[in-house]
Structure 1
Amino acid sequence: MSSVVSYEVVKNIGVIKVDSPPVNALSQAVREGILTAVQNAQNDDTEALVLMCEGRTFIAGADITEFGKPPKEPSLPDVLTALENSSKLVVAAIHGTALGGGFETALCCHYRCAIASAKVGLPEVKLGLLPGAGGTQRVPRIAGAKAALDMITKGDPVAANKASDMGLIDEVLSGDDLQAAAVAYAQDLVESGAPLKRVRDITIDPASIEPGFFDGYRKALAKRARGQIAQDRIVSCVEAAVNKSMDDGLAVERELFTELVTSPQSRAMRHAFFAEREAAKIKDLPKGTPVREIKKVAIIGGGTMGGGIAMCFANAGIPVVMVEINDEALERGLGIIRKNYTITVQKGRLSEQDMGKRMELISGTTDYADLGDVDLAIEAVFENPDIKKEVFAKLDAACKPGAILASNTSYQDVNLIAEATKRPQDVVGMHFFSPANVMKLLEVVRADKTADDVLATVMQIGKKIGKVCALSRVCYGFIGNRMLQGYGRQAHMLLLDGATPEQVDSAAEEFGMAMGPLAVGDLAGLDIGYKARQARTDVEHDPKTHCIATALVEMGRMGQKSGAGYYKYDAATRARQNDPEVEALIRDKAKELGIEQREISKQEIVDRLFFPLINEGALILEEGIAQRPGDIDVVYLYGYGFPVAKGGPMFYADEVGLKNVVARINEFARTLGEDYWQPAPLLVKLASEGKTFADWAKENS
């Protein structure tokens, strides 16, 4: 018997118990232990078996660290076959989450019971994969083709009661003692003469599926999945479950799983999975660094950003006080929050009762003196350094010793902001992304004097409010917005060189971005960038990088909110349309600047948009602004909509090949000028040595 799997007889029931912290993943030792226990139990005096787990969860999935390595015996299919073909009835007893291979293991048992708080799911699609151990064949046989597709192509876990309604769970247990309840359920099954119910014996009548159903589902997925291939392969597997025998369907599943596991997309998505978890770790933070208790939070500024941040904390059950300059502004801010919650209720994603509880956690004030009991204060006012310093001086005077003072600034120097206080060790950047109650990224900005326990606390509270955190040192724009400058600059310069707005945006969207850079500008409001340029009197602005956007704003074309920007927008649907007036403006500006326009290929557009991200990312690594290439990827995946199937800009660079990236940048330097095309020294060094950013990360871990 394996050291991580035990077997005991309780009354007439054999209990197989997995105990492999932290999540009972299906490692080789777990697989071997389950197989041995099932085989041995065939010859003892028990009348049924219960498979369950110790710790916080049922088997939460495959051991992802085994991906890409030589397989070890026994294989998961060997284990599942033993469970399914057991001569004794087998019951899976689920608590926590039964995900991926864990849920596929449960599906091979003859019956499944779960406590009400348990969840089941097949999340492989989020790693660019499909369930490879029968999930695509067994779920549709139980729940039907559409329900199976909805579940597997989204990859989200399903609560026990809903899973019961779908037929995936046979019994939702009551009581706190899982083992006792599961053993009693197994005994009831034995006493009632329940059959060995094998999912593989269920057949689906192909005539029950509407003609064209699978083609229609594929078309819907093409819009939702934006170039990801795993969803399409999942449809093929479920289609096989309908039209083929179990064994033939399993063969299709295995073939397509093998294709996906070796695909660039899955490599990218597995990289993203690990990068997200690694980004939460601060390299030089001493182990066991204490954290400060956060019981109450203040948000300074009740605008769209401040309101969204307040919602993040209220959603996590943390009381929030919002500070505004006057009662009118305060009521407006609270009203925006109430409106946002109301919309969520109307969509059925939140109950009226829960909305009421969250609104009760949010109070307001116009007096900084009311902030004496807060543990964390987050400033979310205008991007004006003088205003921010004024706010921090007030917070310094009003907040108790030990309270953390955070700025939500997108660009400003957090060191200078900290100088406005007598406690720079308590000052940190917490850069939320808009809308803050929706976007998952939180850039945590470490100033020169930020205390270790402040960093540890902010990373912990970020996780608590559902954010993916990445650490940045101080520089203009930090990681994300600093890199974004080159992306936006090239989008503009591509127009002057001859591309249309539609060509630029379409190339970016085919690459996998949800929206192209110019459409994003229209959505955010072109006046925001216009005002930011006016505020930066410390730099000389090259008209080639902004003249079209500036002209559009001065024409009253602010983007979607004014009905026109780079595009015209339908007042009712906000559908964008190409505008000949804009194309004429672009031609005129190019002529004024002496730029001869030409046809530009889609590949050139993609390279000119995304290679500046890579190059700036290399500079950020050299300067120590980011800890790892993976942290940069996390910022772009969760903050800027970079396609997860590409893994983030730094992973994408490794896939393209750093030598190819350097060669292309040098080519642009020759043809477009060296002003914006100088390869970063680290990029050149790694390329010349035949190394990758992943290699650099290992060497600097």
Structure 2
Amino acid sequence: MAKVSNEEICNGIGVLEIDSPPVNALGAQVRCALDEGLRRMMASADVKAILIICAGRTFFAGADISEFGKAIVGPDLGEIFTLIEMSDKPVVAAIHGSALGGGLELALACHYRIAVPSAKLGLPEVKLGLLPGAGGTQRLPRIVGVETALDLIVSGRAISAHEARTLGVVDMLATEGGLRDDAIAYARSVLDQPLVRVRDRQDRLESAHGKPEIFADFRKKNARSFRGFKAPENIVKAIEAVVNLPFDEGLKREWALFKELEASIESLAQRYYFFAERETTKIPDVPKDIPTIPIATVGVIGAGTMGGGIAMNFLNIGLPVVLVEMSEAALDRGLGVIRRNYENATRKGRMTAADVEQRMGLIRPALDFAALADVDLVIEAVFEEMEVKKDIFRKLDRATKPGAILASNTSFLDLDEIAAATSRPEWVVGLHFFSPANVMQLLEVVRGRHTSKSVIATAMKLAKTIGKVPVLSKVCNGFIANRIMAQRQIQADALVLEGPSPQEIDQAVFDYGFAMGPFQMIDLVGLDVIGRGATTRSVAGDLVAMGRLGQKQAGGYYDYDEHRHATPSPVAAEVIASFAVDKGVVPSGKQAAADILARLLFPVVNEGAKLLEEGIALRASDIDVAAILGYNWPVYTGGPMFWADTIGLQTIVDSLRALETRYGAAFTPSKLLVELAKSGGSFTRG
């Protein structure tokens, strides 16, 4: 077992340093080192106070997530924290980097905390469907008060060392680069002070005693954001225990609530997603040592909503952008939108006026492809039409330097056909941003038949640099997210003709966990946008012909008042009924929500299985990441493939076969899905 701790006594201060790369996670080996080191120092007559500090780039960044759900090896965090807390010698936590989760809980168990100004502190367990299970919900409220603790723990947000100092979480700020010396000096300065244990503090709790409305109001205020998640409610219950129970009883209540979450599907799904998101950059034939291409200047073709949003990603990290449009008016309009977006951020306090000017100053507007001669990467973001895109890439082939990456933001089209319009298909890649491009986290990196490994490695690295989560896809119609989710819309459009209303379909999807149903989404985006380029008659097309474009004009599948509040639309119902008669669809009457979900979502799972069969997606978890980040699939279900494993693949196969018998080959289960169901296998469970 490698040594992870170093011990030293400096003028009566015992320094216990943990060095367990990469993030000093509080796994079994680290816990044992802490336990043994603390006991030696507590027993030493030469040690008057103890300093806990970490080597490397961070303080304890949290517990070892891989241990969740397994038997504890060695001392648990609770035992170590009790040892620290009950010490008759002051114990000081010296924080740099991040003190997150179990790391902050350890610091809270210490008698004093000192941090460098750049440090971040937080309890982010809620993002894994959990709560802080080692006293975080019981100690933090005793320092910051109940209402602030509710906000911090339920949101899981990290706070700066300066904010932590203001709140009392940190007792002193050290100088950057001088943490060890400052912490030793601080430990020496508190030797004559009476020890105050966080567990014994009551002053910040007094205002919450006898006021259950604090918790009731918090639940009411956050009901919408809590929907579908278990962890926020359990966190509220744990903090209620701070007010209503003695400390040790509160710890027991916290642990029971933690174990309840740990065993839940919701937490399993969120923990699965945590690792899934980090797996997306692992490409078997593109090892980490593949050289990447330096990107110092970016070109963007198209200054519309998508192009402007794409440009902002690079402006935000300080990269100059050459923004190309076909007319001065379009260019001015695009620049105006970018400026307004930044000015909106200024009004919300997210950036300064100087930041706006700095970013706008990085844009070089242009009306000619010649301006792209020296860019390292150019991204095309124009109308989704093959001939238009091929023409652009022919021009880019001539206008850009050798070694420039040529990227298309196409969301559906054949990247290989686009690349064939150039003399260098190995330099062509798909960079499919989701709208709004400056906000949405997903970036599908589309690998063409000839795209070089260096280009792929560069695209994946660049995605992380601009704050995106990259998911690799090979070429197919719609790639990953759009291809699978198109199945939901196809079935919604068919099902609404059979009897269930748009409201019933949307409600079933909403109750499952989506922010809105398919027809609500169409009305929000615009029926004319969703149906653009359609060549066959549809309900949406008939509504558009009547001037019903959705929320923005005269209603769509719903009617809207002046505040855009939706009500069922008799006009839309009549259009749907008429269309069904014309198509010869026999109404089937009302359907249960479970049957509606099976009809809409099982085909999504089946399409995901086809992506794996065809080698379009590398792994099932990539499909889940794409669905969650691209279409807001509820994260507490884990995404379509994890969800499928949860409910049982044989259940899905049986349902699809029943639908196939009734509706035809569109519901034929994929070969992979059938094989996994038969063998008892899964997409995501090992």
**Which residue of structure 2 lines up, in the alignment, with residue 487 of structure 1?**
488
Match of 2:41 in 1: 41
**Deviation digits for residues 244-301 of structure 1 (CA, Å, limit 9, x no counterpart):** 1111111110001000001000110011011101111112113410000011111110
| Aligned partners of 1:392 and 1:420 also within 8 Å | yes
SS of residue paired to 1:434: coil
CA drift of 1:325 comes to 0.8
* 1:370 alignment partner AA: A
Query: Which of 673, 678, 683 is residue 683 of structure 1 equivalent to?
Result: 673
Provide the residue aligned with 2:580 in structure 1: 590
The residue number in structure 2 matching 1:3 is 3
- Give distance in 1, aligned partners of 2:248 and 2:604: 47
Which stretch of structure 1 is more off in the superposition, 156-165 or 562-571? 562-571
Counterpart of 1:599, as a letter, is K
Tell me how far apart the structure 1 counterparts of residues 676 and 571 of structure 2 sit (CA, whole Å). 46
SS state at 1:42 partner:
helix
Shift of 1:195: 2.4
Please show how residues 139-218 of structure 1 align to structure 2 within 5 Å. Answer: 139-190=140-191, 193-203=192-202, 204-205=205-206, 207-208=208-209, 210-218=211-219
Corresponding residue SS for 1:153: helix
2: CA distance between counterparts of 1:450 and 1:343? 38
Matching of residue 118 in structure 1 with residue 108 in structure 2: no
Residue in 1 aligned with 2:362? Answer: 361
CA distance in 1, matches of 2:123, 2:503: 37
Equivalent in the alignment of 2:95: 94
The answer to whether the Cα contact below 8 Å between 2:208 and 2:243 also exists between their aligned partners in 1 is: no
1:563 to partner: Cα distance: 4.0
Unaligned ranges ≥5, structure 1: 535-540
Give the partner amino acid of 1:555. Answer: M
Question: Residues 632-651 of structure 1 correspond to what in structure 2 (within 5 A)?
Answer: 632-651=623-642
- Counterpart residue number, 2:506: 505
In the alignment, is the contact (CA less than 8 A) between 1:299 and 1:310 conserved in 2? Answer: yes
Distance 1:159 1:569 in 2: 44
Alpha-carbon contact 1:206-1:243 (below 8 Å) kept: no
Q: Could you say which residue in structure 2 is the equivalent of 1:447?
A: 448
**In structure 2, distance between residues paired with 1:425 and 1:54:** 43
Root-mean-square deviation (CA, aligned residues, Å) is: 1.4
By how many angstroms is 1:550 displaced? 1.4
The amino acid of 1:630's aligned partner reads S
SS of residue paired to 1:694: coil
* Cα distance in 2 between the residues matched to 1:532 and 1:155: 43
Query: Displacement, 1:180?
Result: 1.2
More divergent stretch after superposition (393-402 vs 350-359): 350-359
- Report how far residue 43 of structure 1 moved: 2.3
Greater Cα offset, 260-269 or 590-599: 590-599
Q: Which residue of 2 aligns with 1:253?
A: 254
Deviations 1:453-491 (A, max 9, x none): 000000000000000110000000001111122100111
Residue in structure 1 matched with residue 108 of structure 2 by the alignment: 107
Distance in structure 2 (CA, Å) of the matches to 1:476 and 1:341: 34
SS at match of 2:43: coil
Shift of residue 517, structure 1, vs aligned partner: 1.0
Match of 1:422 in 2: 423
Aligned residue pairs: how many?
682
User: In structure 2, what is the equivalent of residue 14 of structure 1?
Assistant: 14
CA distance in structure 1 between the aligned counterparts of 2:211 and 2:519, rounded to whole angstroms = 41
Q: Does the 8 A contact of 1:51 with 1:91 survive in 2?
A: yes
Q: Match for residue 61 of structure 1?
A: 62
Q: CA deviation at 1:362?
A: 2.2
C-alpha separation between the residues in 2 aligned to 1:315 and 1:426? 25
Residue type at the aligned position of 2:7:
Y
- Once the 2 structures are TM-superposed, how far is the Cα of residue 221 of structure 1 from its aligned partner? 2.6
How far did residue 363 of structure 1 move?
A: 2.4
Could you say which residue in structure 1 is the equivalent of 2:466? 465
Q: Is the 8 A contact 1:221 1:232 kept in 2?
A: no
Q: Which runs of 5+ in 2 are unaligned?
A: none
Q: Distance in 2 between matches of 1:328 and 1:21?
A: 54
CA contact (8 A) 2:146 2:208 kept: no
Change (3 A) 1:684 1:207: closer
Return closer, same or farther for 1:687/1:582 CA change in 2, 3 Å cut-off: same
State the partner residue of 1:25: 25
Q: Does 1:578 align with 2:579?
A: no
Shift of 1:356: 2.3
CA contact (8 A) 1:669 1:678 kept: yes
Q: 2:609 aligns with which of 618, 630, 644?
A: 618
Q: Secondary structure at the match of 1:7?
A: strand
Question: Is contact 1:567-1:576 (8 Å) kept?
Answer: yes
Check conservation: 2:376, 2:404, Cα contact below 8 A. yes
Partner of 1:433: 434
Give the secondary structure class of the aligned counterpart of 1:533. coil
- Residues 2 and 33 in structure 1, CA contact (< 8 A), matched pair in contact too: no
Quote how far apart the aligned CAs of 1:593 are: 2.2
Residue aligning to 1:344: 345
Is the aligned partner of 1:82 residue 2:83?
yes
1:103 and 1:151 map into 2 onto residues whose CA distance is 12
CA contact (8 A) 1:62 1:100 kept: yes
- Which residue does 1:538 correspond to in 2? none
Moved more, 193-202 or 292-301: 193-202
- Matched-pair contact (CA < 8 Å) for 1:642–1:648: yes
User: Could you tell me the TM-score, scaled by structure 1's length?
Assistant: 0.95
AA matched with 2:573: E
In structure 2, the CA distance between the partners of 1:175 and 1:654, relative to structure 1 (3 Å rule), is: closer
Mapped contact 1:58–1:96 kept (Cα < 8 A) = yes
Distance in 2 (CA, whole Å) between partners of 1:459 and 1:173 is 37
Superposed displacement of residue 609, structure 1: 1.5
Distance across 2 between alignment mates of 1:477 and 1:663: 27
Q: Distance in 1 between matches of 2:93 and 2:358?
A: 37
Taking structure 1 as reference, are residues 439 and 209 closer, same or farther at Cα in structure 2, changes over 3 Å only? farther
Conserved 8 A contact 1:268-1:651: yes
SS in structure 1 of the partner of residue 496 of structure 2: helix
Pair 54,563 (structure 1): closer, same or farther in 2 beyond 3 Å: farther
Alignment-derived partner of residue 656 in structure 1: 647
Equivalent residue for 2:620, pick from 605, 629, 648: 629
Aligned residue identity for 2:592: S
Decide whether the 8 Å contact of 2:94 with 2:179 is kept in 1: yes
Letter in 1 for 2:87: S
* Secondary structure in 2 matching 1:497: coil
State the identity as a percent. Answer: 49
Q: Equivalent residue of 1:472, what SS?
A: strand
Matched residues in 1 for 2:208 and 2:462: separation? 53
1-structure distance, mates of 2:437, 2:413: 19
Aligned partners of 1:153, 1:497: CA distance in 2, in Å? 42
In the alignment, is the contact (CA less than 8 A) between 1:275 and 1:630 conserved in 2?
A: yes
Q: Classify 1:200/1:553 alpha carbon distance in 2 versus 1 (closer, same or farther; 3 Å).
A: same
Residue matched to 1:301: 302
Q: 2:312 aligns to what?
A: 311
- Per-residue deviation, residues 12-49 of structure 1 (Å, max 9, x unmatched): 21111111111110010100111111111012212211
Q: 1:86-144 CA deviation, whole Å, 9 max, x = no partner?
A: 12111111111110001100100101111111100011111100000011111111111
